[in-house]
């Protein structure tokens, strides 16, 4: 199984680090640890308040946000796609499980956000994943998440869509090396998501969409997700806060 696109490595900082100064330093270190590896697409997604500062530090990596709403208006606390674009944001993460869990996001909200982001020309990164570890069958929950999120998506937007298979049980387990999903599970998720894309959009639609993996990605397991797992990239949480680790992850992805 081969895909022709460059691998996509997204650093999701979540609610880290604690200050603007630390965010600037971290962005600078990641930029210098990764910028020599040309054969990969890199995105850094800091918390909203640090977007302008981090954006200023980046030349090689693109700027990403961790969330978005679908428009401007009377939506206290929300941020619109155009506002993000005006700060140089190119990618938006949508429907992360931590937002589903801690901010009560539903598949219907995620659908609105996804349509708003894609309509405005942003690259959208849709996160899906089941909450409980499964047997060999992929959870129907993932199918439901993908189908609902893509309800109002136009076929011509698919080239700006990435779907992340990020099983909730595999997130934040880095201390426990058995915590990540297996490359085989990731591969089966890829097949499952491709089948849904084909059923919704027909023919070769799934070729346009990048399908990546998230959940306890480290320098030790990245290569197996990209090779055996046939993933087009990875969404990295904890390891993306360590310039050495994310540098190594990008180096390995770019060497394939
Ligand atoms: P970890 O890499 O810390 O498990 O986080 C995964 C994740 O949620 C990335 O969005």
Nearest CA to ligand 1 atom 5: 237
Q: Are residues 197 and 205 in contact, defined by beta-carbon separation less than 8 angstroms? A: yes
User: Greater confidence, 222 or 4?
Assistant: 222
183 lines ligand 1 (CB under 6 A): no
Distance 86 CA to ligand 1 centre (A): 27
In total, the chain counts a number of residues equal to 256
Tell me, in angstroms, the distance from the centre of ligand 1 to residue 213's CA: 10
Q: How far does residue 36's CA lie from ligand 1's centre (Å)?
A: 24
Q: Which alpha helices (DSSP H) does the chain contain, by range?
A: 20-34, 51-57, 81-86, 97-102, 107-119, 140-149, 183-201, 205-208, 222-226, 243-254
Beta bridge partners of 7: 40
> With 90 as the cut, is the pLDDT of residue 253 above it?
yes
From residue 75, alpha-carbon distances to 19, 31, 71, 94 in Å are 26, 34, 9, 17
236 within ligand 1 shell (Cβ under 6 A): yes
Q: What is the pLDDT of residues 57-83, one digit of tens each?
A: 999 999 999 999 999 999 999 999 999
Q: What is the mean pLDDT of the chain?
A: 94
12 lines ligand 1 (CB under 6 A): yes
pLDDT of amino acid 179: 86
User: Token digits for 174?
Assistant: 């880095």
Phi, psi of 67 (to 5 degrees): -165, 170
Nearest protein Cα to ligand 1, atom 2: 237
Q: Is the pLDDT of residue 15 over 70?
A: yes
Q: What pLDDT score does 5 carry? A: 82
Calculate how far, in angstroms, residue 176's C-alpha sits from the geometric centre of ligand 1. Answer: 13
The pLDDT assigned to 254 comes to 97
**Cα–Cα distance for residue pair 174/220, rounded to 1 Å:** 11
Place 3 in a pLDDT band, splitting at 50, 70 and 90: low
- Ligand 1 neighbourhood includes 100 CB (under 6 angstroms): no
C-beta 196 within 6 A of ligand 1: no
């Amino acid at each position: 199984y081969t895909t022709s696109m460059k691998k996509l490595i997204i650093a999701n900082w979540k609610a880290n680090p604690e200050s603007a100064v630390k965010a600037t330093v971290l962005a600078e270190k990641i930029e210098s640890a990764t910028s020599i590896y040309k054969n990969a697409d890199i995105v850094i997604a800091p918390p909203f308040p640090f977007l302008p500062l981090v954006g200023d530090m980046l030349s090689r990596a693109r700027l990403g946000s961790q969330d978005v709403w679908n428009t401007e208006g009377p939506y206290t606390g929300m941020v619109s796609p155009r506002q993000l674009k005006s700060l140089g944001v190119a990618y938006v993460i949508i429907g992360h499980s931590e937002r589903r869990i801690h901010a009560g996001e539903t598949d219907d909200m995620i659908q609105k956000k996804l349509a708003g982001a894609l309509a405005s020309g942003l690259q959208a990164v849709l996160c899906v994943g089941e909450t409980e570890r499964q047997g060999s069958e992929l959870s129907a929950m993932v199918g439901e998440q993908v189908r609902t999120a893509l309800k109002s998506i136009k076929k011509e937007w698919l080239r700006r869509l990435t779907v992340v298979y990020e099983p909730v049980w595999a997130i934040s387990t880095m201390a426990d090396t058995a915590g990540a999903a297996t490359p085989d599970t990731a591969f089966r998720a890829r097949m499952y998501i491709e089948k849904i894309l084909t059923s919704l959009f027909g023919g070769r639609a799934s070729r346009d969409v990048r399908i990546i993996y998230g959940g306890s990605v480290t320098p030790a397991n990245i290569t197996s997700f990209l090779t055996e797992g046939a993933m087009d990239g990875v969404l990295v949480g904890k390891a993306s806060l360590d310039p050495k680790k994310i540098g190594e992850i990008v180096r390995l992805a770019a060497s394939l």
